[in-house]
Structures are given as C-alpha cells and as structure tokens.
Amino acid sequence: MNVAERVAIVSASATPVGRLTPRDDRLWDGFDHDVLGGVVLDALGQIGIANHQIGSVVFTAPPPPTRQLGFATFMCAQLGLRPNAQLAQVQEMGITGGLAFDQAASDILLGRADYALALGVAIQSQGDATQAMDHSLRVVGDVDFQSPFGMTPIAWYAFDMCRYLHETGVKREDIAAVACKSRQWSASNPLAQFREPLSLEQVLSQPPVVAPLGRLDVPARADGAICLVLCTERRAQALGVPYVVVSGRGFASEGFHQIGDHPHDMTAFPAATAATRRALGEAGKTLDQLDLAELYAPCTITEVLVSEACGFFGRGEGAIAAREGRTAPGGDTPINTSGGCLARGHPPSLTALYGLLELREQLLGLAGDRQINAAECGLHVCELGNYNAALSHIVERPA
C-alpha cells in the first residue's frame, strides 16, 4: 500500500447532459450501454490506454428505468474489461457519483489497480415523471411513518427554503438569483442542458412545484453518461498527459435520514461543513486559496445553504451573494461554473462526476469562455438526503 501517492484524474469523457433519446418514434441510436461504451472508449483513447490495463471499474447504479440489470458486469463484457482489483456498482442517493469516484480512487491509493474508472450512464428522461416520483417515494423519508404523507425528494429542500426565509429575512428573489447566474455560467458550457439566459422575472413567474420552490428553482430530468480515468500522479507524469490531482478528501454524516427525530437546524448542513474542513485540512489549504467550487445543489436554495455551510458566506449571506453576482462570472467566489444542477443539468447519480469533470476542465484551462483565470485549486462537494452526509474533495493542478 502506498498512501503517500496522490490520485490523478488523467482522462475524462462525457456526453452533454439533457435528453439523449429521440422525442418521437424513431429508433434510438443505441441503448444505455452503447452510449456509455462510446464515452469509455473516448476517455481511454485520449491517453492511449487499452481495456486490459484497467484494474478497477466502479459504476454508478443505473436509474430505475434502466432495463438491463446486472449492468456493471454486462457493461464490462461489452467493453472487454477484465478488472482484477474491483468491479462494483454503487448507489446512495445524490452522493452516488462521488462514491464511485471515491471507491475508484481508493483502489489507486491502495495500489490495487494501475488504472481505475469511475463511470455511469443515466437514460431516464423518456420515462413517465409520475412513475419516477413513485419510486422516489420509497427513497425519501421513512416508508411507514413519512412516505404515507406524500413526500417527494425536493420537498426536503422546500422545507429548508421555508425555514431559511423565515429565519433570515432573505427574500425569495434573492434565492431565485441562483437560477439566473447558473445560466450565465452554462452559456459557454457545451455539456449544459440549458444555455439560454434566464431573468429573475422568469424564475419568479413559474408555477410552484413544491412551494416556495418553483419550476425553475428545481432541476429538470436529464440523461447523461460520463467516465473519469484515475491513476497515480506518478503514472500520470510518466504518461506525459495533462492531469489534475486529488489533494484532500473529507466525509461526514450527521446520522439523520433527511430529518432527525429531534429538533435540529435543517438548514445548517453540518456534514458539508465537517467534510469540507477535513478535505481542506488534508490538502493543507484554506478556503481563500480555492479558485472555484462545484457544489452538488439540486435546487436554488441548496446552493445557497451549502455555500454557507462550506464557509464561503456567513449565515443568511449566500443568497445575497448570488443576487450581487459574487458567485457568477466575474464574481469573487465562482460557484458551479458548469451551470450546476439547474443549468448544466442533473442526472442525479452522475452529477458528482460531472462536477469533478468541471473542476478538471477549469484547472487544465479547458473551460472556454467560462474559464476562471489561472485556476489552480477547486473544491467539490456532493451529498445525500438533505445534506445529511457530504463528501468533499480538493482538486488541484499540479505545480
């Protein structure tokens, strides 16, 4: 075991986020495995790696509409992958992509694999939305004591918003500003689901979904497919290709399944605070050394709360910061430069992998018109439930 090594993201490939299947009766170009297969071959081809060199393959579990079960082994057979360290499929709500990355990274750190893939595909936008929510009813809350009331996943975030507005005196329009600035970032992201500008009036005039959250405060359904290739920093240097490294990692859980059974501050996201502190500590960094942050935030209010929990802003100041443009292009605290869940798009199991991809692009100077000047260090945070657990990574461009 060689724990002194750092993990490098040495290659990556992804489809745009959005609908990847035809809207009419035409035959699909390919099924889930075909889409992901192309992405994997692209990622391996960029660095001249062959399938037999991959020792660890960690998939995000495919979403409920996926017909092919046993997806991980099926997919490996499609690609001729014969991993000798690990072949797994991981899943736990929104943190799923982060877990796939973390598990693949562990195999590199432990010396079990020369190369590891963190990957997944989600084709779900063609299905019936109500059907998808029926499934989610069993994920959110306690199926016997909470689900019978008609919970939905984003209802947690709506509770947060209700309480936050009540306690801080922040205005609804301050929080809606997050949706607008997300489009400012995504305008130049070719992977983004939505790139058109959005006005505050447009956000505020939408019908409610889970009031006080309206249709543009919450993510649209989306497909995607992504593959990150990991190896040690030493191996990445030997390959002679551009790479970024993971210099810090932190995980924390507050021990609740969405809401606790005793009163607690639901809007404080203490797991995000603790996980980010640990990651920064491991990297030997402070918040003010970060050039950008990709924060898993399915709704406008979520980005506000996690930006406060990580320490970028004080209590009640996250929404004001978004309204004042501090997290937008040109701002002093760039957050979710990909456009985040609301604009880049949100296939939930893959969102963390897309967030890590955005850090890689920014740190390698590949982000086009949304590029943060001379970005050297970024934070990624993903979560499960109502940020009941969080996983943070510090990603850096090597000196």
Interface residues with other proteins (CB under 8 A) are 129-131, 133-134, 136-137, 141-152, 155, 158-163, 166-167, 207-213, 255, 259-264, 266
Nearer to other proteins, 29 or 265 (CB): 265
Nearer to other proteins, 79 or 162 (CB): 162
Nearer to other proteins, 144 or 288 (CB): 144
CB of 130 to other proteins, least distance (A): 4
CB of 215 to other proteins, least distance (A): 9
CB of 158 to other proteins, least distance (A): 4
Closest Cα partner for 146 from 158, 136, 132?
Answer: 136
CB of 170 to other proteins, least distance (A): 14
Nearer to other proteins, 110 or 137 (CB): 137
CB of 140 to other proteins, least distance (A): 10
Separation in Å, CA 254 to CA 40, 266, 281 = 35, 11, 20
Angstrom distance (rounded) from CA 249 to CA 12: 20
CB of 212 to other proteins, least distance (A): 7
Separation in Å, CA 279 to CA 49, 171, 273 = 30, 32, 10
Q: Is the peptide bond before 219 cis (omega within 30 degrees of 0)?
A: no
Q: Residue 290: phi, psi to the nearest 5?
A: -80, 140
Nearer to other proteins, 167 or 332 (CB): 167
Nearer to other proteins, 150 or 330 (CB): 150
Angstrom distance (rounded) from CA 83 to CA 55: 4
Instruction: Work out the burial of residue 180: count CB atoms within 10 Å of its CB; fewer than 13 is exposed, 13-18 middle, 19 or more buried.
Output: buried
Per DSSP, 262 falls in state S
